[in-house]
Structure 1
Amino acid sequence: MRAALAILPLAALTALTAFAVLSFDTFERQPSNAFFGRSDSVPLLACVAGSWLLFAAAVLAVRRLRPRGATVVIIVGAVAIGIAALVGPPNTSTDSARYAWDGIVQNSGESPYRYTPANGALADLRPTWLFPEPVISGGEPDCVGERIVGVKEVGSGDLICTALNRPAVPTIYPPLAEIYFAAVRLLVAPEVGYIALQVAGLVVSLAVTALLLVTLQRRGLPVWWAALWAWCPLVASEAVTNSHVDALGAAFALLATVLVTGGRRIWGGIALGAAIAVKLIPVIVAPPLIRRKPLGVVVAAVGTFALLYVPYVLSTGIGVIGYLPGYLSEEGYENGSRFALVPPFVPGPVATLLIALALAVVAGLVFWKTDPASPWTGQLVLVGVTLLLVSPRYPWYALLLVPFVAMTGRWEWFAVVLALTLRQFTPPTAVFAIALIVAGVVVAIASWRRASPEQRATIRRLGAPWRRSPSKPT
């Protein structure tokens, strides 16, 4: 009976996941072959809300199961939801098109950093699903179809059509991400479409689920916490359907923490370096891992990161930086306009400085207070606060947060995930800022309620200098 209570919302969540993949396409602003277009946000909002409500119901139900039964249900649910997430093409991002192209280019023997996709030197490598032929419209060549944009080919000046975003700039991804793309595409023909990386995303997602189940059981923690990753709607959408490589970075970050806390510090450092070499962002999980005996972890991480770059540097030189500087400028991080929580009247450089100082303070406090034997909560705080302050406009950046939600059972941090998910509806900056503030308040209230009397006393002492009258000594 208890298992049925978990299976019913899981079955509904699986069905709704498949429905969402088939029904919503956020690339298309007008109604298309999808049931609803991006211009109709109400059904999409209802679908997203329904997914999260069913997720919550399923998690509440699995809590009541014994560990062995919970493990079985979690695995079955993860597989079912993951398969449902495979039934359609990417629907929130075209990033996986670039992943596939970078893999195809590498498997031809060329560096992905050397040429842009629009360069005629790579014309012979272009599969039609990524580079469809232009059509004649009104006597002129034109690019039609979902996810398809037009760009002038470097060299000839001819119009080429492509499913890649930013086809006129070099790739941005670090070396281990590029190795991953090449490995996945090596297993299939160039004509095979999005499904290859989607299946790889499912494999990564299931690997994280397995690692969570094993780690939670060994540490005597509730195994049902693994469902917080395994059934999470964000994971289904962004790790599987849209195949974001952030899931691989999250997997290595979790593995690094498991290894370091298990006393295997060199291997943990290697995994940490690998995580950073996937997407750079996982570097923010590092401070709690170097609280004790940092040298081995740091040397192994830096060495791994550098070693992975060597073959690309040898073939491309400084070009391995790729589009990173341009991306940071494009996203508003260079001039400080991206930070939703900073008032718009604050000058860009000042906004950037304020965010950097705030993150440095949080990192210092986490480093100071973290229990090296159990760094999960510190990592959760670091990743969550970074997402709140940096306020990226892409929800898949929160994939790094979810494994640490699962390792701590601190569900309140899903408020941050939901705030970032709101960006799919392209709200005004003020609305997004309010969502982030609400998420921060939810986290603060829940964290205060979880805190022990000693922890509350510490918080009061830290806040004493900013009060009008200092607290009386106890």
Structure 2
Amino acid sequence: MRIVVTTILLVLSAGLTAVSVAALPYYRYEEGEVEPLVLATVILWALFALSFASLRRVSAKASIVLVLVGSLGIGVAAMAGPPNTSTDSARYAWDGIVQNAGISPYSYVPADPALAHLRTDWLFPAAVDGECTGARIMTTEELGSGDLLCTAINRPKVPTIYPPASELVFAGLRAITGPSPEYWPSQLLGLLTGLGITVLLLGELRRTGRDPRWAALWGWSPLVATEGVTNSHIDIVSALLLVVATLLVARGRRGWGGVALGVSIATKLIPVIGAPALLGKRPWGLILISIAAFLVLYIPYVISDGIQVLGYLPGYLTEEGYETGTRFILLSLIAPGSASLVLAALLVAVVGAVVWWRSDPSDPWIGQLVMIGSVLMIVTPRYPWYALLLVPMVAMTGRWEWLAVPLALTERLLIPSVDLARVAAVVAIIVIVVMSIRRAGWVIISPRTESKPRKAAEPVTRM
């Protein structure tokens, strides 16, 4: 009966995922099309919570099958339609097409007429009666001529922002599929990558005596389905590489772990925050190997493009408000303007130092969880897919309360109200702190209770 209940909940999750992708309109907050996707997201997270709660009553052996089948089913459902909140994967496709034509993606912007011969109809559809039409199509002008240009690529007048390892993935994917397929190649890559992480988590959970059910916290997560598969953000690949790096270091293979870490950083840069938990008391070997792997991927592009290899990164940081500090929605309450940037840097440095000093490289998962989750709460990005790095660490530790972080970031994306985003972030922090206190076996002292410790918390290997 427990298996049946869990299966029904998973079927409902997969069904709603497919409907939200295939039937709901493309998310555009400025046009008021908010409520359908917000409601679907709330229900999906509720079904996720119920499914995981039900799984806890299923035997360990049966739960492994359910985790794998559920991950596959929800992932396939997430491919039921094109991206619904982001067209970043259109840029992925374009960068791959350009590279396979022997041109560096850092040298030309998509709106440059020099690349007109590479434009495909789905990335650059023709205007209809002088207007660009389509849910995912933006209006811009071709460089030089000023002619109307319709495109699915966001920011078509700036160079790519993605690092070399990502560019190699884009080129490889389009070398296999060619330029004509639309969004599904990136979605399939996201599906396979997500399943790969699920398998790795199951294996490591069993190897270390932890509960394999925890892998469902990744495999069934609405965040993985929507941002890793439907919107197919490359962050899921960097998450896989960071998981591999952490696994290798935990098993004593620090050299290869350093290589995987370097490649992960060369995929999206953000995984650098996963380094402190892996360093140990003799950090220099892993640091140097990671840097070497990073440079091996960057040097060919630096030779061909020079400083242009930075792409749109400087402009992106300015656009997002990180240079002025306006993006730090919590810190800006106490340190307005550029002062919040300084405060954020100090907090990240302190957390990184504590995680480095306290983490055991043979079991670095808690350190990874605290470092990545804390940085996300300090920086408070408006893109929930950055939390794809965090969710595998949640699964490996069973600390489900940290899923409040991607939930808060998802709220910020779907309802871009600064005040509401601050409330969501504060609630997430409170949930994490309260649950951490409970896990530590502490109690909150009131005038009517004595100050005495509770019994020690149960080991993390138990449900």
Alignment TM class, shorter chain as reference: over 0.9
1:277 to 263, 266, 270: 266
**CA shift for structure 1 position 66:** 2.5
- TM-score, normalised to structure 2, is 0.93
Match of 1:186 among 171, 175, 179: 175
Is 2:326–2:332's contact at 8 Å kept on the other side of the alignment?
no
Q: CA deviation at 1:292?
A: 3.4
Select 2:339's aligned residue among 327, 350, 360.
Answer: 350
Which one-letter code corresponds to 2:14 in the other structure? Answer: T
Name 2:458's counterpart in structure 1. Answer: none
d(CA) in 1 for partners of 2:338, 2:25: 36
Q: State whether residues 25 and 92 of structure 1, in contact with CA within 8 Å, keep that contact through their aligned partners in structure 2.
A: no
Q: Aligned to 1:269, what secondary structure does the other structure show? A: helix
CA distance in 2, matches of 1:131, 1:326: 24
Structure-2 change in CA distance of 1:8 and 1:27 (3 Å): closer
SS in 2 for 1:116: coil
Q: Of 121, 125, 131, which aligns to 1:132?
A: 125
Paired with 1:425 and 1:238, the residues of 2 have a C-alpha distance of 13
Query: CA offset at residue 404 of structure 1?
Result: 0.3
Query: What is the letter of the counterpart of residue 252 of structure 1?
Result: L
Distance apart, 1:452 and its partner CA:
5.0
Equivalents in 1 of 2:113, 2:34: separation in Å? 39
1:337, 1:344 within 8 Å by CA — same for their partners in 2?
no
Structure 1 match to 2:16? 16
Distance in structure 2 (CA, Å) of the matches to 1:198 and 1:338:
29
Q: Are 1:97 and 2:96 counterparts?
A: no
Shift of 1:295: 2.5
Could you tell me which of 429, 434, 437 is aligned with 2:423? 434
Conserved? CA contact 1:175–1:309, under 8 Å: yes
Q: Is residue 148 from structure 1 mapped to residue 141 from structure 2 by the alignment? A: no
Alignment match, 2:68: 75
Deviation at 1:345, TM superposition (A): 7.4
**Structure 2 residue identity aligned to 1:121:** A
Structure 2 counterpart SS, 1:299: helix
Partner of 1:33: none
- 298-307 or 423-432: which moved more? 423-432
**How big is the shift at 1:344?**
5.0
| Distance across 2 between alignment mates of 1:64 and 1:2 | 7
1:172 aligned counterpart, secondary structure: coil
Tell me the equivalent position of 2:40.
47
2:319 and 2:176 mapped to 1: Cα distance? 34
Q: How big is each residue's C-alpha offset from its partner over 1:317-340, in whole Å with a ceiling of 9 and x where there is no partner?
A: 111000000000000001100000
Aligned residues: 443
Normalising by structure 1, we get a TM-score of: 0.91
Show the counterpart of 2:375: 386
SS of match in other structure, 1:91:
coil
C-alpha displacement of 1:293: 2.9
Supply the distance in 2 between the matched residues of 1:452 and 1:366 (Cα, whole angstroms): 21
Aligned Cα root-mean-square deviation (Å): 1.6
2:138 corresponds to which letter in structure 1?
Answer: V
Contact 1:412/1:442 (8 A) holds in 2 = yes
Residue 297 of structure 2 corresponds to residue 304 of structure 1: no
The question of whether the paired residues in 1 share the 8 Å contact of 2:27 and 2:34 is answered with no
Equivalent positions of 1:47-446 (< 5 A) are 47-136=40-129, 141-343=130-332, 346-446=335-435
2: CA distance, partners of 1:280 / 1:48: 28
CA contact (8 A) 2:25 2:33 kept: no
In the aligned structure 1, how far is the partner of 2:25 from the partner of 2:321? 26
1:299 and 1:109 mapped to 2: Cα distance?
Answer: 32
- Is the Cα–Cα contact under 8 Å of residues 320 and 327 in structure 2 kept in the other structure? yes
Show the counterpart of 1:469.
Answer: none
Amino acid of the structure 2 residue aligned with 1:236: A
What's the secondary structure of 1:343's corresponding residue?
A: helix
Change (3 A) 1:291 1:441: same
- C-alpha distance in 1 between matches for 2:205 and 2:60: 10
Q: Deviations over 1:354-402 (max 9, x none)?
A: 1111111111111222122211111111111111110101111111110
- Report how far residue 424 of structure 1 moved: 2.9
Distance 1:260 1:345 in 2: 38
Counterpart Cα distance in 2 of 1:23 and 1:392: 28
Unmatched 5+ stretches in structure 2: 443-463
CA distance in 2, matches of 1:354, 1:144: 44
Paired letter, 1:362: V
1:25 aligned to 2:14?
no
Measured against aligned partners, the alpha-carbon deviations of 1:388-436 in whole angstroms (never above 9, x if no partner) come to 1101011111111100000100000011111111023333211111110
Unaligned runs of 5+ residues in structure 1 are 31-37, 454-474
Can you list the C-alpha shifts for 1:228-279, whole angstroms capped at 9, x where unaligned? Answer: 0000000000000000000011111111000001011010000000110111
Q: CA deviation at 1:43?
A: 3.3
| Aligned counterparts of 1:62 and 1:148: Cα–Cα separation in 2 | 42
The CA deviation at 1:3 is 1.4
